[in-house]
């Protein structure tokens, strides 16, 4: 079980806080001979697999390193263009590490805004007035839990489907927000949360919830 990440979205749909707690990473490193038997393409400033799957490498996986040198965007950290490098037969054999690339800050901002809109659509689709909106989305590998306050702030937790006690954890995070963000004289409403005490108490609460499997009253 595990809690993967936490998002806080303001009432306008802006991401004001995000923390990756325990994001699983599936990575595969293989040595290839020329020609490369995978088709790569540029996508969202990354080099990703567009065709061909083998040995745990999947379509959508990004190139994370080449010959042990990390990749940033379309280039290695030592300045090599990935696509050009892999076209040159003299560079083979080559060791390539593939995996799910971490979301960029811009991608997180965009996804938070999209969920805000989806939440509003969910409320409008309700056959009854006063719908709470989307409280949970479930996939085969994670659940998205959402708690919206009366003022429109959304607290979102992504967790393992087997993790229990998330509803209580969401309210605990709201309590931490009230105590260490709202009561901070230097914090402005609706703006990004940058408070060390908020960070510390959030991380502590996530650790307790993961170890206990739930987050009981009085925690």
Q: Could you give all domains of the chain from N- to C-terminal order, each with its CATH number?
A: 3-23+104-213 (3.30.450.70), 27-99 (2.30.42.40)
Distance, CA of 193 to CA of 80 (rounded, Å): 37
Report DSSP state, residue 118: H
pLDDT in tens, 53-94: 888 888 889 999 999 999 988 999 999 999 999 999 999 999
Angle between helices 196-212 and 166-177 (to 10 degrees): 170
Q: Is the pLDDT of residue 111 over 80?
A: yes
Tell me the C-alpha to C-alpha distance, in Å, between residue 66 and each of 24, 101, 108, 184: 21, 14, 26, 45
Read off the pLDDT of each residue in 2-19 and give the average, rounded to a whole number.
94
How confident is the model over 197-201, as a mean pLDDT?
A: 95
Instruction: Confirm if 213 and 169 have CB atoms less than 8 A apart.
Output: no
Q: What is the pTM of this model?
A: 0.75
- Classified as helix, coil or strand, 39 is strand
Percent of all residues in the chain with a pLDDT value above 70, rounded to a whole number: 95
- The Cα 78–Cα 189 span in angstroms is 42
Q: Which of 116-120, 173-177, 183-187 has the highest mean pLDDT?
A: 173-177
CB 72 within 8 A of CB 45: no
- Residues in a beta bridge with 54: 57
pLDDT at 219 over 50: no
pLDDT of residue 1: 59
pLDDT at 217: 43
Average pLDDT, rounded, for the chain: 89
Q: Is the pLDDT of residue 166 over 70?
A: yes
Q: 203 pLDDT band (50/70/90 cuts)?
A: very high
What is the reported pLDDT for 137?
Answer: 92
């Amino acid at each position: 079980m595990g809690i993967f990440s936490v998002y806080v979205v303001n009432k306008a749909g802006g991401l004001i806080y995000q923390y990756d707690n325990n994001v699983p990473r599936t990575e595969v490193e293989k040595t290839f001979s020329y020609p490369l038997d995978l088709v790569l393409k540029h996508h969202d400033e990354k080099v990703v697999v567009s065709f061909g799957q083998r040995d745990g490498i999947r379509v959508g996986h990004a190139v994370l390193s080449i010959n042990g040198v990390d990749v940033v965007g379309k280039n290695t950290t030592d300045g090599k263009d990935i696509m050009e490098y892999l076209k040159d037969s003299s560079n083979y054999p080559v060791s390539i590490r593939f995996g799910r690339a971490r979301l960029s800050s811009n991608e997180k901002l965009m996804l938070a805004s999209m969920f805000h809109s989806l939440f509003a659509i969910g409320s409008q689709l309700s056959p009854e007035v006063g719908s709470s909106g989307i409280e949970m989305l479930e996939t085969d590998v994670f659940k998205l839990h959402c708690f919206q306050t009366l003022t429109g702030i959304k607290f979102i937790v992504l967790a393992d489907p087997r993790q229990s006690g998330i509803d209580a954890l969401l309210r605990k995070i709201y309590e931490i927000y009230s105590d260490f963000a709202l009561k901070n004289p230097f914090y402005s409403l609706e703006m990004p949360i940058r408070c060390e005490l908020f960070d510390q108490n959030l991380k502590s609460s996530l650790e307790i919830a993961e170890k206990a499997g739930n987050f009981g009253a009085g925690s």
